[in-house]
Chains A and B, each alone.
Chain A
Amino acid sequence: MKRQAQNEMTIQFLSRSSNEGFARTAAAAFLAQADPTVEQIYDIKTAVSEAVTNAIVHGYRDGIGTVKLTVRLFDDGLAEIIVKDRGCGIEDVHRAREPLFTTGGAERSGMGFTIMESFMDAVTVRSRPGKGTTVILRKRLTSRQPL
């Protein structure tokens, strides 16, 4: 059964690089209501930046499309972030998650998924070639202030 989020937000934006900073800042600002630590906020900003950059650089490598960012916060402090594009998709998700794998040339390190996995508790990737990619990031936030 699908869990009900305590709070949720969704934004949509064009796959322009100038929106990467906006997306990570928006996710972090929304989750600030859970009073996470500074380190947790940086972890989320970093992972969101990687997922959104992948959508922009790889998903829509041949043009401009729409990226959808959903952020959910649950009662137990779980943060769930979904980055979805309808771009070209990933042929081999397992290979794409390997360190140093990139189709983006010298401007990309091929470490995007490695960073997401290091900074979040769980990373799920669903993709279909020609249909798009959905990345789900999950992290349990611990409040700085005891309630």
Chain B
Amino acid sequence: MELQYEVREGRLTAWVSGELGHPEAIRLMAELGRMLEDHLPAEMALDLSGIDFMDSSGIAVAVQTMRRCQGCGCRFWVQGVPKQAMRVFTAGGICRLADIRPEVKA
């Protein structure tokens, strides 16, 4: 798994690529938490358009990051979600709780 990020005009965008299973999710949650603390953005986008595979560990990443964002008044969404990962989010019912979208927000 690779993680890149950019902060521009108050928006933190984090791009994840590769496979997102349990060991990668632990690392990703820690990295995203650190980014939030360091930059205190007004909004945060987690971009999954580069991932090849995701299991329910990705749900844990989205839920935990959403809660962290809510705790600091930051708007959060997940974008660029590939078809397989979207099926995991949908089966987990997470789309009712969080802003999860296949397209990338401009």
Contact = CB atoms under 8 A, between A and B. Distances in A.
Given A21-B21, A112-B56, A46 B93 contact: no
Interface string A118-139: 1100000000000000000000
B53 interface: yes
Nearest to A56: B22
B35 interface: no
A99 B59 CA distance: 12
15 contacts: A20-B22, A45-B53, A46-B53, A46-B88, A50-B56, A56-B22, A57-B22, A106-B29, A106-B60, A109-B56, A109-B57, A109-B59, A111-B56, A114-B91, A115-B88
A72 B91 CA distance: 26
Interface string A14-57: 00011011001000000000000001001001100110010011
Interface residues of B, number: 22
A95 interface: no
Given A45-B53, A106-B60, A109-B59, A20 B93 contact: no
A49 B85 CA distance: 13
A92 interface: no
Given A21-B19, A109-B63, 19 more contacts: A20-B23, A46-B88, A49-B21, A49-B22, A49-B53, A53-B21, A53-B22, A106-B60, A107-B26, A108-B22, A109-B56, A109-B92, A111-B56, A111-B92, A114-B56, A114-B92, A115-B88, A119-B87, A119-B91
B24 to A, nearest CB: 9
A107 B92 contact: no
A124 to B, nearest CB: 19
A53 B55 contact: yes
B41 to A, nearest CB: 21
A17 B20 CA distance: 12
Contacts of B54: 46
Interface in B9-52: 19, 21-23, 25-26, 29
Given A49-B21, A106-B64, A42 B55 contact: no
